[in-house]
Amino acid sequence: MVSGMEWLRRLAAAAVVTVLLAGAASAQQPATPPQSYVVYFDFGSSKLSALARPVIAEAAAAIRRGQQGKSLSHVKVIGYSDTAGTDESADRISRQRADAVRAELVREGIGGDFVTTEGRGKRELAVPTKDHVRNPRNRRVRIMLYRPGD
């Protein structure tokens, strides 16, 4: 049987370990995720819609503010696709979508060297679906604004 004093000592030790673990976890995670903007695409297309352009313009304005305030380190434009088609075609269209958004950001006055692109194809679906499913929420590009240290 554990005495009252021993029980308190064990409880205090457990509390210290919990605080240390919580501190380590928060030190590894940024306080807030990077700011992001999402643009959606029609099936099989990398053409920017009339709805996409204002979103990109808003992202460009935020990028300019971040650059002026030196609170932005870089921008990543990540393209995705739905699960329709082959892995190769999904990778290709996701890269084309990312490139189209990057080109629009450059047209909006953002330096091309500040923006990187990548295509993730069918990986990281916004809406999990089976293969060969057309889902408009998966056909997207995320514009990610990273702060120094992110």
105 and 72 within one domain: yes
pLDDT higher than threshold 80 for residue 7 = no
Domain containing 20: what range? Answer: 1-30
Specify the pLDDT at position 150.
86
46 and 14 within one domain: no
Helix (H) or strand (E) holding 116: strand 115-119
Dist. CA 109–CA 103, nearest whole Å: 10
92 and 72 within one domain: yes
94 and 20 within one domain: no
pTM of the model: 0.79
26 and 37 within one domain: no
139 and 106 within one domain: yes
The helix/strand/coil state of 12 is: helix
* Proportion of the chain above pLDDT 90, given as a percent: 77
Q: DSSP letter for 121, please.
A: T
Task: Provide DSSP, 34-78.
Answer: PEEEEEE--TT--PPPTTHHHHHHHHHHHHHHHHHTT---EEEEE
Q: How many folded domains does the chain comprise?
A: 2
* pLDDT tens profile 8-44: 455 444 444 343 444 444 455 556 899 999 999 999 9
133 and 61 within one domain: yes
62 and 5 within one domain: no
43: CATH: 3.30.1330.60
